[in-house]
Chains A and B, each alone.
Chain A
Protein backbone atom coordinates (compact mmCIF):
# COMPACT_ATOMS: atom_id res chain seq x y z
CA UNK A 1 0.00 0.00 0.00
CA UNK A 2 1.14 3.52 -0.53
CA UNK A 3 1.99 5.16 2.75
CA UNK A 4 1.39 8.57 4.12
CA UNK A 5 4.49 10.77 4.10
CA UNK A 6 4.66 11.06 7.88
CA UNK A 7 4.77 7.29 8.22
CA UNK A 8 7.51 7.10 5.61
CA UNK A 9 9.45 9.85 7.30
CA UNK A 10 9.42 8.07 10.66
CA UNK A 11 10.12 4.75 9.01
CA UNK A 12 13.12 6.07 7.09
CA UNK A 13 14.49 8.06 9.99
CA UNK A 14 13.16 6.40 13.12
CA UNK A 15 13.73 8.45 16.28
CA UNK A 16 15.15 6.90 19.43
CA UNK A 17 15.83 3.37 18.30
CA UNK A 18 17.72 1.46 20.94
CA UNK A 19 17.68 0.00 24.40
CA UNK A 20 18.29 1.12 27.95
CA UNK A 21 19.31 -1.02 30.90
CA UNK A 22 16.11 -2.79 31.84
CA UNK A 23 17.38 -3.40 35.36
CA UNK A 24 17.80 0.32 36.07
CA UNK A 25 15.12 1.37 38.62
CA UNK A 26 14.58 4.59 36.69
CA UNK A 27 13.79 2.69 33.52
CA UNK A 28 10.39 1.26 32.73
CA UNK A 29 10.14 -1.35 29.95
CA UNK A 30 6.97 -2.18 28.09
CA UNK A 31 6.71 -5.07 25.65
CA UNK A 32 3.44 -5.54 23.79
CA UNK A 33 2.17 -7.56 20.85
CA UNK A 34 3.12 -11.04 19.68
CA UNK A 35 5.38 -12.38 16.94
CA UNK A 36 2.54 -14.55 15.63
CA UNK A 37 0.47 -11.43 15.05
CA UNK A 38 3.30 -9.75 13.20
CA UNK A 39 3.78 -6.92 15.69
CA UNK A 40 5.97 -6.65 18.79
CA UNK A 41 6.82 -3.28 20.32
CA UNK A 42 9.32 -2.66 23.07
CA UNK A 43 9.17 0.81 24.59
CA UNK A 44 11.48 2.01 27.35
CA UNK A 45 11.22 5.19 29.37
CA UNK A 46 13.67 6.71 31.82
CA UNK A 47 12.05 8.86 34.48
CA UNK A 48 14.02 11.44 36.47
CA UNK A 49 13.48 12.42 40.08
CA UNK A 50 11.08 15.15 39.05
CA UNK A 51 8.83 12.49 37.53
CA UNK A 52 9.60 13.59 33.99
CA UNK A 53 10.44 11.18 31.19
CA UNK A 54 13.90 12.38 30.15
CA UNK A 55 14.61 9.61 27.66
CA UNK A 56 12.68 7.05 25.62
CA UNK A 57 13.84 4.24 23.36
CA UNK A 58 12.04 1.70 21.23
CA UNK A 59 12.54 -1.42 19.20
CA UNK A 60 9.74 -2.72 17.01
CA UNK A 61 9.11 -5.85 14.95
CA UNK A 62 6.26 -4.94 12.67
CA UNK A 63 5.08 -3.13 9.60
CA UNK A 64 5.98 0.42 8.64
CA UNK A 65 3.03 1.84 10.57
CA UNK A 66 4.04 -0.02 13.71
CA UNK A 67 7.57 1.31 13.47
CA UNK A 68 6.33 4.84 12.76
CA UNK A 69 3.82 4.70 15.64
CA UNK A 70 6.48 3.69 18.13
CA UNK A 71 8.97 6.22 16.80
CA UNK A 72 6.38 8.98 17.10
CA UNK A 73 5.47 7.97 20.63
CA UNK A 74 9.08 8.16 21.83
CA UNK A 75 9.26 11.65 20.43
CA UNK A 76 6.02 12.72 22.09
CA UNK A 77 6.65 11.34 25.56
CA UNK A 78 10.12 12.76 26.02
CA UNK A 79 9.97 15.72 28.40
CA UNK A 80 6.47 14.81 29.55
CA UNK A 81 5.41 13.70 33.00
CA UNK A 82 4.13 10.17 33.38
CA UNK A 83 0.54 11.38 33.62
CA UNK A 84 0.93 13.47 30.50
CA UNK A 85 2.37 10.48 28.66
CA UNK A 86 -0.54 8.34 29.77
CA UNK A 87 -2.97 10.86 28.32
CA UNK A 88 -1.75 10.06 24.78
CA UNK A 89 -4.44 8.04 23.04
CA UNK A 90 -4.23 5.78 20.04
CA UNK A 91 -6.52 8.18 18.21
CA UNK A 92 -3.91 10.94 18.51
CA UNK A 93 -1.25 8.68 17.01
CA UNK A 94 -3.50 7.44 14.22
CA UNK A 95 -4.50 11.00 13.35
CA UNK A 96 -0.95 12.33 13.35
CA UNK A 97 0.22 9.54 11.02
CA UNK A 98 -3.03 9.42 9.02
CA UNK A 99 -3.21 5.66 9.49
CA UNK A 100 -5.75 3.80 7.36
CA UNK A 101 -8.34 1.62 9.18
CA UNK A 102 -6.35 -1.62 8.76
CA UNK A 103 -3.40 -0.02 10.52
CA UNK A 104 -5.26 1.38 13.53
CA UNK A 105 -4.10 -1.59 15.60
CA UNK A 106 -0.55 -0.25 15.30
CA UNK A 107 -1.55 2.91 17.12
CA UNK A 108 -3.42 0.86 19.74
CA UNK A 109 -0.27 -1.14 20.29
CA UNK A 110 1.77 2.05 20.73
CA UNK A 111 -0.66 3.33 23.36
CA UNK A 112 -0.48 -0.05 25.12
CA UNK A 113 3.31 0.16 25.03
CA UNK A 114 3.25 3.46 26.96
CA UNK A 115 0.97 1.93 29.61
CA UNK A 116 3.08 -1.17 29.86
CA UNK A 117 6.31 0.83 30.26
CA UNK A 118 4.78 3.07 32.92
CA UNK A 119 3.41 0.06 34.77
CA UNK A 120 6.84 -1.55 34.80
CA UNK A 121 8.43 1.67 36.04
CA UNK A 122 5.88 2.07 38.83
CA UNK A 123 6.28 -1.53 39.90
CA UNK A 124 10.03 -1.02 40.13
CA UNK A 125 9.63 2.20 42.12
CA UNK A 126 7.35 0.45 44.57
CA UNK A 127 9.75 -2.45 44.85
CA UNK A 128 12.63 0.00 45.26
CA UNK A 129 10.85 1.91 48.07
CA UNK A 130 10.15 -1.33 49.86
CA UNK A 131 13.76 -2.33 49.57
CA UNK A 132 14.84 1.03 50.95
CA UNK A 133 12.30 0.72 53.73
CA UNK A 134 13.89 -2.53 54.80
Chain B
Protein backbone atom coordinates (compact mmCIF):
# COMPACT_ATOMS: atom_id res chain seq x y z
CA UNK B 1 0.00 0.00 0.00
CA UNK B 2 1.27 3.44 -0.91
CA UNK B 3 1.61 5.89 1.95
CA UNK B 4 0.39 8.43 2.83
CA UNK B 5 -3.20 7.45 2.11
CA UNK B 6 -5.35 10.23 0.72
CA UNK B 7 -8.59 10.63 2.68
CA UNK B 8 -9.39 14.26 2.01
CA UNK B 9 -11.65 13.98 -1.05
CA UNK B 10 -13.80 16.90 0.08
CA UNK B 11 -10.75 19.16 -0.15
CA UNK B 12 -9.89 18.08 -3.64
CA UNK B 13 -9.73 15.00 -5.84
CA UNK B 14 -7.06 13.72 -8.20
CA UNK B 15 -7.76 14.14 -11.90
CA UNK B 16 -9.12 10.84 -13.18
CA UNK B 17 -6.58 9.41 -15.69
CA UNK B 18 -9.42 9.06 -18.21
CA UNK B 19 -10.08 12.79 -17.84
CA UNK B 20 -6.44 13.72 -18.23
CA UNK B 21 -6.15 11.65 -21.37
CA UNK B 22 -8.83 13.59 -23.22
CA UNK B 23 -7.43 16.91 -22.01
CA UNK B 24 -3.87 16.54 -23.26
CA UNK B 25 -4.27 17.25 -27.01
CA UNK B 26 -6.02 20.52 -26.18
CA UNK B 27 -2.84 21.89 -24.62
CA UNK B 28 -0.57 21.34 -27.57
CA UNK B 29 -1.71 20.47 -31.09
CA UNK B 30 -5.30 21.68 -30.62
CA UNK B 31 -4.53 24.97 -28.95
CA UNK B 32 -6.93 27.25 -30.78
CA UNK B 33 -9.01 29.93 -29.13
CA UNK B 34 -12.65 28.83 -29.10
CA UNK B 35 -13.58 32.43 -29.85
CA UNK B 36 -11.59 32.45 -33.12
CA UNK B 37 -14.24 32.24 -35.81
CA UNK B 38 -11.94 32.61 -38.81
CA UNK B 39 -10.02 29.32 -38.92
CA UNK B 40 -10.21 25.59 -38.07
CA UNK B 41 -8.07 25.99 -34.94
CA UNK B 42 -10.85 28.02 -33.41
CA UNK B 43 -13.65 25.87 -34.81
CA UNK B 44 -12.35 22.63 -33.34
CA UNK B 45 -11.79 24.25 -29.97
CA UNK B 46 -15.29 25.67 -30.04
CA UNK B 47 -16.70 22.26 -30.86
CA UNK B 48 -14.80 20.74 -27.93
CA UNK B 49 -16.12 23.43 -25.58
CA UNK B 50 -19.67 22.89 -26.78
CA UNK B 51 -19.35 19.14 -26.34
CA UNK B 52 -18.15 19.68 -22.77
CA UNK B 53 -21.06 22.06 -22.18
CA UNK B 54 -23.45 19.26 -23.09
CA UNK B 55 -21.65 16.87 -20.73
CA UNK B 56 -21.86 19.29 -17.80
CA UNK B 57 -25.49 20.12 -18.54
CA UNK B 58 -26.44 16.45 -18.71
CA UNK B 59 -25.01 15.83 -15.25
CA UNK B 60 -27.59 18.18 -13.71
CA UNK B 61 -30.45 17.79 -16.17
CA UNK B 62 -29.92 21.20 -17.74
CA UNK B 63 -29.86 22.62 -21.25
CA UNK B 64 -26.29 23.22 -22.53
CA UNK B 65 -27.16 26.87 -23.18
CA UNK B 66 -27.65 27.26 -19.44
CA UNK B 67 -24.02 26.43 -18.59
CA UNK B 68 -21.46 29.20 -18.06
CA UNK B 69 -17.84 28.18 -17.60
CA UNK B 70 -15.97 29.85 -14.75
CA UNK B 71 -12.69 29.36 -12.90
CA UNK B 72 -14.34 27.29 -10.19
CA UNK B 73 -17.13 27.17 -7.64
CA UNK B 74 -15.84 30.23 -5.78
CA UNK B 75 -16.23 32.33 -8.91
CA UNK B 76 -19.58 30.73 -9.73
CA UNK B 77 -20.84 31.58 -6.24
CA UNK B 78 -19.64 35.16 -6.61
CA UNK B 79 -21.26 35.63 -10.01
CA UNK B 80 -24.53 34.11 -8.82
CA UNK B 81 -24.82 36.01 -5.56
CA UNK B 82 -23.37 39.38 -6.54
CA UNK B 83 -24.90 39.13 -10.01
CA UNK B 84 -28.46 38.42 -8.88
CA UNK B 85 -28.35 40.90 -6.03
CA UNK B 86 -27.06 43.78 -8.13
CA UNK B 87 -29.36 43.11 -11.07
CA UNK B 88 -32.50 42.83 -8.97
CA UNK B 89 -31.82 45.44 -6.33
CA UNK B 90 -34.70 47.61 -7.52
CA UNK B 91 -37.01 44.75 -6.63
CA UNK B 92 -35.61 44.01 -3.21
CA UNK B 93 -32.52 43.93 -1.06
CA UNK B 94 -32.97 40.84 1.09
CA UNK B 95 -30.90 37.66 0.74
CA UNK B 96 -31.21 34.45 2.71
CA UNK B 97 -28.46 31.91 3.23
CA UNK B 98 -27.32 29.57 6.00
CA UNK B 99 -24.59 29.83 8.60
CA UNK B 100 -22.85 26.68 7.35
CA UNK B 101 -22.27 27.81 3.76
CA UNK B 102 -18.80 27.83 2.26
CA UNK B 103 -16.80 31.02 2.77
CA UNK B 104 -17.23 31.86 -0.91
CA UNK B 105 -20.95 32.31 -0.28
CA UNK B 106 -20.67 33.85 3.18
CA UNK B 107 -18.04 36.38 2.17
CA UNK B 108 -19.93 37.35 -0.99
CA UNK B 109 -23.01 37.93 1.19
CA UNK B 110 -20.99 39.92 3.72
CA UNK B 111 -19.74 42.08 0.91
CA UNK B 112 -23.30 42.73 -0.25
CA UNK B 113 -24.17 43.95 3.22
CA UNK B 114 -21.68 46.74 2.62
CA UNK B 115 -23.60 47.57 -0.56
CA UNK B 116 -26.81 48.02 1.42
CA UNK B 117 -28.26 44.52 1.15
CA UNK B 118 -29.72 42.74 4.15
CA UNK B 119 -28.65 39.16 4.63
CA UNK B 120 -30.30 36.61 6.90
CA UNK B 121 -27.98 33.77 7.90
CA UNK B 122 -30.30 30.95 8.91
CA UNK B 123 -29.25 28.45 11.56
CA UNK B 124 -29.37 24.72 10.90
CA UNK B 125 -30.54 21.90 13.14
CA UNK B 126 -28.25 19.62 15.14
CA UNK B 127 -28.16 17.31 12.16
CA UNK B 128 -26.91 20.15 9.97
CA UNK B 129 -30.08 20.53 7.89
CA UNK B 130 -32.11 23.62 7.18
CA UNK B 131 -35.67 23.73 8.50
CA UNK B 132 -38.00 24.41 5.55
CA UNK B 133 -40.63 26.12 7.68
CA UNK B 134 -38.01 28.49 9.00
CA UNK B 135 -36.97 29.30 5.45
CA UNK B 136 -40.57 29.89 4.36
CA UNK B 137 -41.15 32.18 7.36
CA UNK B 138 -38.01 34.16 6.63
CA UNK B 139 -38.85 35.06 3.04
CA UNK B 140 -40.45 38.51 2.74
CA UNK B 141 -41.48 40.86 -0.12
CA UNK B 142 -37.96 42.20 -0.40
CA UNK B 143 -36.29 38.77 -0.64
CA UNK B 144 -34.62 38.29 -4.02
CA UNK B 145 -32.29 35.35 -3.43
CA UNK B 146 -31.97 32.21 -1.36
CA UNK B 147 -28.54 30.57 -1.45
CA UNK B 148 -28.19 27.11 0.11
CA UNK B 149 -25.50 24.55 -0.53
CA UNK B 150 -26.22 21.07 -1.85
CA UNK B 151 -23.89 19.29 0.54
CA UNK B 152 -21.60 20.65 3.20
CA UNK B 153 -17.85 20.40 2.71
CA UNK B 154 -17.06 19.59 6.34
CA UNK B 155 -19.85 17.28 7.39
CA UNK B 156 -21.23 16.10 4.02
CA UNK B 157 -24.81 16.81 5.09
CA UNK B 158 -27.22 17.16 2.17
CA UNK B 159 -29.84 19.92 2.31
CA UNK B 160 -33.50 19.39 1.42
CA UNK B 161 -33.03 20.99 -2.00
CA UNK B 162 -36.33 19.94 -3.48
CA UNK B 163 -38.23 21.51 -0.60
CA UNK B 164 -36.17 24.68 -0.77
CA UNK B 165 -36.72 24.90 -4.51
CA UNK B 166 -40.48 24.47 -4.15
CA UNK B 167 -40.69 27.26 -1.58
CA UNK B 168 -38.55 29.62 -3.65
CA UNK B 169 -40.49 28.96 -6.83
CA UNK B 170 -43.81 29.52 -5.08
CA UNK B 171 -42.61 32.78 -3.58
CA UNK B 172 -40.90 34.01 -6.73
CA UNK B 173 -37.43 34.12 -5.20
CA UNK B 174 -34.25 33.05 -6.98
CA UNK B 175 -32.71 29.87 -5.63
CA UNK B 176 -28.95 29.50 -5.92
CA UNK B 177 -27.31 26.24 -4.90
CA UNK B 178 -23.59 25.89 -4.26
CA UNK B 179 -23.18 22.31 -5.47
CA UNK B 180 -19.39 22.18 -5.31
CA UNK B 181 -19.71 19.10 -3.09
CA UNK B 182 -22.98 17.79 -4.48
CA UNK B 183 -22.86 17.87 -8.26
CA UNK B 184 -21.66 14.59 -9.70
CA UNK B 185 -22.25 12.87 -6.39
CA UNK B 186 -25.97 13.39 -5.95
CA UNK B 187 -28.58 12.80 -8.61
CA UNK B 188 -29.42 16.46 -9.29
CA UNK B 189 -32.02 17.60 -11.75
CA UNK B 190 -32.36 21.36 -11.97
CA UNK B 191 -35.99 21.15 -13.05
CA UNK B 192 -37.06 18.70 -10.38
CA UNK B 193 -35.29 20.87 -7.80
CA UNK B 194 -36.62 24.18 -9.16
CA UNK B 195 -33.18 25.65 -8.76
CA UNK B 196 -32.22 28.77 -10.74
CA UNK B 197 -28.45 28.83 -10.34
CA UNK B 198 -26.02 26.02 -9.54
CA UNK B 199 -22.29 26.31 -8.82
CA UNK B 200 -20.08 23.43 -9.94
CA UNK B 201 -16.40 22.77 -9.28
CA UNK B 202 -14.10 20.72 -11.51
CA UNK B 203 -11.57 19.54 -8.98
CA UNK B 204 -14.15 18.07 -6.61
CA UNK B 205 -15.32 15.64 -9.28
CA UNK B 206 -11.98 14.26 -10.51
CA UNK B 207 -11.54 17.06 -13.02
CA UNK B 208 -8.83 19.72 -13.11
CA UNK B 209 -8.43 22.64 -10.72
CA UNK B 210 -9.14 26.11 -12.03
CA UNK B 211 -12.36 25.26 -13.84
CA UNK B 212 -15.98 25.29 -12.79
CA UNK B 213 -19.39 26.12 -14.10
CA UNK B 214 -22.46 28.08 -13.22
CA UNK B 215 -25.86 26.90 -14.29
CA UNK B 216 -28.15 29.85 -15.04
CA UNK B 217 -31.77 28.99 -15.79
CA UNK B 218 -33.25 30.11 -19.13
CA UNK B 219 -36.92 29.36 -18.51
CA UNK B 220 -38.08 31.34 -16.68
CA UNK B 221 -35.08 33.42 -17.58
CA UNK B 222 -32.72 34.34 -14.79
CA UNK B 223 -30.93 37.63 -15.32
CA UNK B 224 -27.83 38.76 -13.54
CA UNK B 225 -25.17 41.42 -13.70
CA UNK B 226 -21.70 40.28 -14.73
CA UNK B 227 -18.82 40.56 -12.30
CA UNK B 228 -16.09 40.17 -14.93
CA UNK B 229 -16.13 42.50 -17.95
CA UNK B 230 -14.43 42.01 -21.28
CA UNK B 231 -15.05 40.25 -24.56
CA UNK B 232 -18.56 39.18 -23.74
CA UNK B 233 -17.83 35.46 -23.59
CA UNK B 234 -20.37 33.09 -22.10
CA UNK B 235 -23.30 35.28 -23.08
CA UNK B 236 -21.75 38.23 -21.33
CA UNK B 237 -21.93 36.54 -17.96
CA UNK B 238 -18.26 35.68 -17.76
CA UNK B 239 -15.78 37.35 -20.07
CA UNK B 240 -12.37 35.83 -20.54
CA UNK B 241 -10.83 33.39 -23.02
CA UNK B 242 -12.17 29.91 -22.46
CA UNK B 243 -9.52 27.44 -21.22
CA UNK B 244 -10.28 24.62 -23.65
CA UNK B 245 -8.24 21.84 -21.99
CA UNK B 246 -9.76 22.54 -18.59
CA UNK B 247 -13.26 22.73 -20.03
CA UNK B 248 -12.76 19.47 -21.89
CA UNK B 249 -11.57 17.97 -18.58
CA UNK B 250 -14.59 19.26 -16.68
CA UNK B 251 -16.86 17.86 -19.40
CA UNK B 252 -15.28 14.41 -19.30
CA UNK B 253 -15.29 14.40 -15.48
CA UNK B 254 -19.00 15.25 -15.54
CA UNK B 255 -19.73 12.52 -18.06
CA UNK B 256 -17.95 9.94 -15.89
CA UNK B 257 -19.94 11.05 -12.85
CA UNK B 258 -23.20 10.84 -14.75
CA UNK B 259 -22.37 7.36 -15.95
CA UNK B 260 -20.85 5.93 -12.77
CA UNK B 261 -22.55 7.83 -9.97
CA UNK B 262 -24.90 5.11 -8.77
CA UNK B 263 -22.32 2.33 -8.66
CA UNK B 264 -19.65 4.64 -7.28
CA UNK B 265 -21.85 5.93 -4.47
CA UNK B 266 -22.74 2.39 -3.44
CA UNK B 267 -19.10 1.39 -3.34
CA UNK B 268 -17.97 4.47 -1.42
CA UNK B 269 -20.86 4.24 1.02
CA UNK B 270 -19.91 0.64 1.82
CA UNK B 271 -16.35 1.79 2.51
CA UNK B 272 -17.55 4.60 4.75
CA UNK B 273 -19.76 2.22 6.71
CA UNK B 274 -16.86 -0.19 7.06
CA UNK B 275 -14.70 2.61 8.41
CA UNK B 276 -17.39 3.92 10.74
CA UNK B 277 -18.12 0.48 12.15
CA UNK B 278 -14.43 -0.37 12.52
CA UNK B 279 -13.86 2.76 14.57
CA UNK B 280 -17.07 2.62 16.59
CA UNK B 281 -16.57 -1.01 17.54
CA UNK B 282 -13.13 -0.39 18.95
CA UNK B 283 -13.44 3.02 20.59
CA UNK B 284 -15.81 4.64 23.06
CA UNK B 285 -16.61 8.37 23.37
CA UNK B 286 -16.71 8.80 19.62
CA UNK B 287 -19.46 10.76 17.87
CA UNK B 288 -20.39 11.43 14.27
CA UNK B 289 -21.02 15.05 13.37
CA UNK B 290 -24.00 15.74 11.13
CA UNK B 291 -26.88 13.73 9.76
CA UNK B 292 -25.86 10.16 8.97
CA UNK B 293 -28.65 9.51 6.46
CA UNK B 294 -28.74 12.67 4.35
CA UNK B 295 -25.05 12.67 3.74
CA UNK B 296 -22.48 12.35 0.98
CA UNK B 297 -21.33 8.74 0.67
CA UNK B 298 -17.69 9.69 1.11
CA UNK B 299 -17.84 11.92 4.20
CA UNK B 300 -17.16 10.75 7.72
CA UNK B 301 -16.72 13.53 10.27
CA UNK B 302 -15.97 12.17 13.71
CA UNK B 303 -15.17 13.70 17.07
CA UNK B 304 -12.81 11.64 19.20
CA UNK B 305 -13.49 13.09 22.64
CA UNK B 306 -10.45 14.04 24.76
CA UNK B 307 -8.06 13.87 21.80
CA UNK B 308 -7.24 17.21 20.19
CA UNK B 309 -7.61 17.18 16.41
CA UNK B 310 -4.26 18.50 15.37
CA UNK B 311 -2.28 16.12 17.55
CA UNK B 312 -4.52 13.37 16.20
CA UNK B 313 -3.56 14.32 12.65
CA UNK B 314 0.10 14.19 13.63
CA UNK B 315 -0.44 10.74 15.08
CA UNK B 316 -2.11 9.49 11.91
CA UNK B 317 0.26 11.27 9.58
CA UNK B 318 0.13 8.40 7.09
CA UNK B 319 -3.49 9.32 6.44
CA UNK B 320 -4.19 12.70 4.85
CA UNK B 321 -7.30 14.12 6.52
CA UNK B 322 -8.43 17.47 7.88
CA UNK B 323 -9.72 18.64 11.22
CA UNK B 324 -12.21 21.12 12.65
CA UNK B 325 -9.72 21.93 15.35
CA UNK B 326 -8.74 25.54 15.75
CA UNK B 327 -5.11 24.57 15.78
CA UNK B 328 -5.26 23.84 12.07
CA UNK B 329 -6.37 27.34 11.21
CA UNK B 330 -4.87 30.75 11.76
CA UNK B 331 -8.04 31.95 13.49
CA UNK B 332 -7.70 29.79 16.62
CA UNK B 333 -11.47 29.28 16.44
CA UNK B 334 -12.81 25.77 15.97
CA UNK B 335 -14.97 24.96 12.92
CA UNK B 336 -17.92 27.35 12.49
CA UNK B 337 -19.84 24.54 10.83
CA UNK B 338 -19.57 22.24 13.83
CA UNK B 339 -20.36 25.12 16.19
CA UNK B 340 -23.50 25.81 14.14
CA UNK B 341 -24.62 22.23 14.77
CA UNK B 342 -24.37 22.88 18.49
CA UNK B 343 -21.25 20.74 18.83
CA UNK B 344 -19.49 22.24 21.85
CA UNK B 345 -16.09 23.83 21.38
CA UNK B 346 -14.31 21.04 23.16
CA UNK B 347 -15.69 18.40 20.80
CA UNK B 348 -15.18 20.64 17.79
CA UNK B 349 -11.48 20.66 18.65
CA UNK B 350 -11.44 16.86 18.47
CA UNK B 351 -13.10 16.44 15.07
CA UNK B 352 -11.51 14.72 12.10
CA UNK B 353 -12.93 14.68 8.58
CA UNK B 354 -12.25 11.50 6.62
CA UNK B 355 -13.09 11.99 2.96
CA UNK B 356 -13.34 8.83 0.89
CA UNK B 357 -13.60 8.76 -2.87
CA UNK B 358 -13.14 7.11 -6.22
CA UNK B 359 -9.70 5.69 -5.57
CA UNK B 360 -10.11 4.67 -1.92
CA UNK B 361 -9.69 0.94 -1.37
CA UNK B 362 -10.91 -1.44 1.30
CA UNK B 363 -7.31 -2.17 2.30
CA UNK B 364 -6.74 1.55 2.84
CA UNK B 365 -9.85 1.81 4.99
CA UNK B 366 -8.78 -1.14 7.13
CA UNK B 367 -5.30 0.28 7.53
CA UNK B 368 -6.72 3.67 8.46
CA UNK B 369 -9.03 2.17 11.06
CA UNK B 370 -6.10 0.40 12.71
CA UNK B 371 -3.96 3.54 12.79
CA UNK B 372 -6.82 5.69 14.06
CA UNK B 373 -7.69 3.31 16.89
CA UNK B 374 -4.05 3.04 17.97
CA UNK B 375 -3.60 6.80 17.85
CA UNK B 376 -6.71 7.55 19.86
CA UNK B 377 -5.74 5.01 22.51
CA UNK B 378 -2.22 6.39 22.73
CA UNK B 379 -3.32 10.03 22.87
CA UNK B 380 -6.01 9.32 25.42
CA UNK B 381 -3.36 7.76 27.66
CA UNK B 382 -1.64 11.11 27.36
CA UNK B 383 -4.81 13.17 27.88
CA UNK B 384 -5.52 14.66 31.30
CA UNK B 385 -9.19 14.94 30.30
CA UNK B 386 -9.44 11.23 29.58
CA UNK B 387 -7.83 10.52 32.96
CA UNK B 388 -10.34 12.75 34.73
CA UNK B 389 -13.26 11.11 32.95
CA UNK B 390 -11.93 7.68 33.96
CA UNK B 391 -11.80 8.95 37.56
CA UNK B 392 -15.43 9.98 37.30
CA UNK B 393 -14.85 13.75 37.17
CA UNK B 394 -17.54 15.76 35.38
CA UNK B 395 -15.52 17.98 33.04
CA UNK B 396 -18.37 20.44 32.73
CA UNK B 397 -18.31 21.03 36.47
CA UNK B 398 -14.61 21.91 36.45
CA UNK B 399 -13.73 25.59 36.54
CA UNK B 400 -11.20 25.93 33.74
CA UNK B 401 -8.85 28.85 33.37
CA UNK B 402 -9.83 29.95 29.84
CA UNK B 403 -6.97 31.48 27.98
Chain A interface (Cβ within 8 Å of chain B)?
A: 1, 3, 8, 11, 14, 17, 19, 31-42, 59-64, 66-67, 102, 105, 108-109
- Compute how far the CA of A60 lies from the CA of B308 in the bound complex, rounded to whole angstroms: 9
Chain A residues whose C-beta falls within 8 Å of the C-beta of B327 in the assembled complex: 38, 62-63
With contacts A11-B314, A60-B384, A61-B384 taken as known, whether A35 is within 8 angstroms of B395 at the C-beta atoms is yes
By beta carbon, the residue of chain A nearest B383 is: A61
Does chain A have a CB within 8 A of B194?
Answer: no
Contact residue among A37, A61, A67 (Cβ-Cβ distance under 8 Å from B403):
A37
B306, B327, B344, B384: residue with the most chain A Cβ atoms closer than 10 Å: B384
Does chain A have a CB within 8 A of B137?
Answer: no
- Compute how far the CA of A53 lies from the CA of B278 in the bound complex, rounded to whole angstroms: 44
Chain A residues whose C-beta falls within 8 Å of the C-beta of B346 in the assembled complex: 35-36, 38
Does chain A have a CB within 8 A of B263?
Answer: no
Contact residue among A33, A64, A105 (Cβ-Cβ distance under 8 Å from B400):
A33
Chain A residues whose C-beta falls within 8 Å of the C-beta of B403 in the assembled complex: 32-34, 37, 39, 105, 108-109
- Compute how far the CA of A8 lies from the CA of B310 in the bound complex, rounded to whole angstroms: 13
- Compute how far the CA of A35 lies from the CA of B344 in the bound complex, rounded to whole angstroms: 10
- Compute how far the CA of A8 lies from the CA of B313 in the bound complex, rounded to whole angstroms: 12
By beta carbon, the residue of chain A nearest B387 is: A59
Chain B residues whose C-beta falls within 8 Å of the C-beta of A1 in the assembled complex: 328
With contacts A11-B314, A62-B311, A102-B330 taken as known, whether A34 is within 8 angstroms of B383 at the C-beta atoms is no
Task: Count how many chain B residues have C-beta atoms less than 8 Å from C-beta atoms of the other chain.
Answer: 30
- Compute how far the CA of A59 lies from the CA of B349 in the bound complex, rounded to whole angstroms: 17
- Compute how far the CA of A108 lies from the CA of B345 in the bound complex, rounded to whole angstroms: 21
Chain A residues whose C-beta falls within 8 Å of the C-beta of B57 in the assembled complex: none
- Compute how far the CA of A41 lies from the CA of B387 in the bound complex, rounded to whole angstroms: 12
Chain B residues whose C-beta falls within 8 Å of the C-beta of A63 in the assembled complex: 308, 310-311, 314, 325, 327
By beta carbon, the residue of chain B nearest A29 is: B384
Can you list the 8 inter-chain pairs with the closest CB atoms, starting with the nearest?
A34-B400, A42-B384, A35-B346, A63-B310, A36-B345, A63-B327, A38-B349, A59-B384
- Compute how far the CA of A101 lies from the CA of B203 in the bound complex, rounded to whole angstroms: 33
Chain B residues whose C-beta falls within 8 Å of the C-beta of A36 in the assembled complex: 344-346, 349, 400, 402
Chain A residues whose C-beta falls within 8 Å of the C-beta of B402 in the assembled complex: 34, 36-37
- Compute how far the CA of A33 lies from the CA of B326 in the bound complex, rounded to whole angstroms: 15
Contact residue among B311, B326, B395 (Cβ-Cβ distance under 8 Å from A11):
B311
- Compute how far the CA of A36 lies from the CA of B326 in the bound complex, rounded to whole angstroms: 10
Chain A residues whose C-beta falls within 8 Å of the C-beta of B386 in the assembled complex: 61
With contacts A60-B383, A64-B311 taken as known, whether A35 is within 8 angstroms of B332 at the C-beta atoms is no
Contact residue among A3, A37, A59 (Cβ-Cβ distance under 8 Å from B383):
A59
With contacts A34-B400, A35-B400, A63-B325 taken as known, whether A40 is within 8 angstroms of B314 at the C-beta atoms is no
Convert B377-392 into 0s and 1s, putting 1 for each residue whose CB lies closer than 8 angstroms to a CB of A: 0000111111100000
The answer on a CB contact under 8 Å between B307 and A64 is: no
- Compute how far the CA of A48 lies from the CA of B381 in the bound complex, rounded to whole angstroms: 27
The answer on a CB contact under 8 Å between B345 and A60 is: no
By beta carbon, the residue of chain B nearest A105 is: B403
- Compute how far the CA of A42 lies from the CA of B314 in the bound complex, rounded to whole angstroms: 21
Does chain A have a CB within 8 A of B156?
Answer: no
The answer on a CB contact under 8 Å between B384 and A41 is: yes
- Compute how far the CA of A35 lies from the CA of B381 in the bound complex, rounded to whole angstroms: 16
By beta carbon, the residue of chain B nearest A32 is: B401
The answer on a CB contact under 8 Å between A3 and B382 is: no
Chain B residues whose C-beta falls within 8 Å of the C-beta of A42 in the assembled complex: 384, 387
Convert B61-77 into 0s and 1s, putting 1 for each residue whose CB lies closer than 8 angstroms to a CB of A: 00000000000000000
Contact residue among A31, A35, A59, A105 (Cβ-Cβ distance under 8 Å from B382):
A59
- Compute how far the CA of A42 lies from the CA of B384 in the bound complex, rounded to whole angstroms: 6
Shortest distance between the CB of A123 and any CB in chain B (Å): 16
With contacts A3-B314, A109-B403 taken as known, whether A61 is within 8 angstroms of B325 at the C-beta atoms is no
Extra A-B contacts (11), CB below 8 Å, given A36-B349, A63-B314: A3-B314, A8-B314, A34-B403, A35-B395, A36-B344, A38-B327, A39-B308, A40-B384, A59-B382, A64-B311, A67-B382
Contact residue among A8, A38, A61 (Cβ-Cβ distance under 8 Å from B326):
A38
Contact residue among B309, B325, B382 (Cβ-Cβ distance under 8 Å from A60):
B382
